Structure 1
Amino acid sequence: MAAAVLGALLLAGCGGQNAEKPPAPQGQAGQAGAPDAAAPGAPAPAGGGAPAPVDAAQNGTGGGAGKAGPALARSEPQKIAIPSLGLTSTLETLRQNADGTMQTPKDPALAGWYEPGPTPGSQGPAVIAGHVTWNGASAVFEKLKTMKGGDTIKVTRKDGKTVTFTVDRVGEYPKAEFPTLEVYKNLDHAGLRLVTCGGDFDPKKHYYDSNVVVFARMTDAA
């Protein structure tokens, strides 16, 4: 499956209605591949290579997810549940705008799955994104940064299967240092990345200066 990969999935619009749009996707890659190049203004890995593992003391919390389960066939996700956050959300389908930028969820209370990428449970890093706040009010992924390694995420798919993902780690990155390759690189298992904004919010620009990324892998399917 050829997938248009968003260079960093910045979700610059996740903090307010009038925020800037995310950057355009760059390049075509195989399933879960990394982009060919970063768009102007889009973050790229420092030094041109794969990013170093997340430092749990500075950028996130680790924990390890254990062995991944075998990947499933492609099937669109319908709902996400995160027990540790008391969160349940149906999923919007996120595609690309006419200008090539990624859509963000229209409803700040709902998360959205990035449709050009893998589906949760199929091989590769599926991406689910959501707003952290919206016009000053809490949004669906407001508490995402509080997740820890070992937490579980459940995604219900159109084929009736519920896939369980276990969190490996959680990181917060300045947008200029977004770990693009680490998020979108090829995987030999079914992975999941949850993405929202983080860091400081500039009310004049309607802009957060960082991103929060949850890295998880499938550990069960029923």
Structure 2
Amino acid sequence: MATPLPSPVESTSVPPRRRFVVRLLAWTVVLLIPAVILFFSGDDESSDDARAPRAAAAHAPASSAAPKSSATPRAGKQLPRARPTRLLIPAIDVSAPFVGLAIGDSGQLEPPPADDVNLVGWQADGVSPGEAGTAIIAGHVDTATAPAVFAGLSELKKGDRFSVNRSDRRTAVFVVDSVETFAKDDFPDERVYADTPQAQVRLITCAGDYDHSVKDYTDNLVVFAHLV
């Protein structure tokens, strides 16, 4: 995976409903070769070593905090803040638990552990799925040995629905607005990560061709969706 860049504001000093705008430069996939072994940590509750080096990883480049909820008018249906527990996407047979993704000591958004092909991550210090604002859900597209949780993400289409089970025992249901692929060198950071008055979600993984010379996929796949 590529080296992540500086993070948003440190989570320890930010109120629970503070919105974060996390910019993603690229999801990277590293081939399993003897000279390259990468390790990734999990959420703030547990830590896992990534035994499969080839996987897509979320990165958090330099960014700024989004407006506080009081400064941004909220609109449409929304739910209170709650930790997501499971992502369900019937159209592509996804039923995956969540792991919280933290900002690491180096100022990086940690990727989901790469040794679990059926796991998604969310930025635990950002917006929770169902809460007003832009929630980020990240998943690997493959590993060194098998397809991963978001291998079929490109098959989603406008109007498809998926849901997020939450720790408050509520279920947040989302409808897909669009599924788009962006070249990593022309990624629309503001469009993907900007704060929104509605409860929205971005599902993100890597896409395109795998460039062996840089050990990286060429594109990012983003699913735009909103709470219904």
Shorter-chain-normalised TM-score: which range?
Answer: 0.7 to 0.9
User: After superposition, what is the alpha-carbon deviation per residue over 1:101-141, rounded to whole angstroms, capped at 9, x for unaligned?
Assistant: 11111123211111122101110111100010111520110
Change beyond 3 A, Cα 1:108–1:97? farther
Amino acid at match of 1:10: A
Structure 2 counterparts to residues 10-21 of structure 1, below 5 A: 10-13=26-29, 17=53
Q: Distance in 2 between matches of 1:147 and 1:9?
A: 22
Aligned-residue offset at 1:30: 2.1
The reply on whether 1:116 has 2:132 as its aligned counterpart is no
Q: TM-score, normalised by structure 1?
A: 0.75
Structure 2 residue 166 is matched with structure 1 residue 129: no
Name which structure has the greater RCO, CA cutoff 8 Å, separation 6+. Answer: 1
- Normalized against structure 2, the TM-score is what? 0.74
SS of 2:191 mapped into structure 1: helix
Compared with structure 1, are the counterparts of its residues 22 and 142 closer, same or farther at alpha carbon in structure 2 (3 Å cutoff)? same
Q: Is the 8 A contact 1:10 1:23 kept in 2?
A: no
> 178, 195, 201: which is aligned to 2:204?
195
**Which amino acid letter does the alignment assign opposite residue 209 of structure 1?**
T
Bigger drift between 6-15 and 208-217 goes to 6-15
Pairs aligned (count): 184
5+ long unaligned stretches in structure 1: 33-67
* Pair 1:151 & 2:160 matched: yes
Distance 1:198 1:31 in 2: 33
CA gap of 1:72–1:14, structure 2 versus 1, over 3 A, is farther
Match among 7, 23, 33 for residue 7 of structure 1: 23
Return the structure number with greater strand share. Answer: 1
Cα contact 2:78–2:198 (8 A) shared by 1: yes
Q: Identity rate of aligned residues, in percent?
A: 34
Structure 2 letter corresponding to 1:150: G
- Determine if the alignment matches structure 1 residue 99 to structure 2 residue 106: yes
Structure 1's 187 and 3: CA in aligned 2 closer, same or farther, altered over 3 A?
closer
Residue of structure 1 in register with 2:150 after alignment? 141
Tell me, yes or no, if the aligned pair for 1:14 and 1:197 is still in contact at 8 Å: no
CA distance in 2, matches of 1:79, 1:25: 29
1:72–1:123 CA contact under 8 A, matched in 2: yes
What pairs with 1:16-95 in structure 2 (closer than 5 Å)? Answer: 17=53, 22-30=59-67, 70-95=77-102
Q: CA RMSD in A?
A: 2.3
The 10-residue stretch of structure 1 (103-112 or 150-159) with the greater mean CA deviation from structure 2: 103-112
- Alpha-carbon distance, 1:29 to partner: 2.1
In the aligned structure 2, how far is the partner of 1:84 from the partner of 1:124? 25
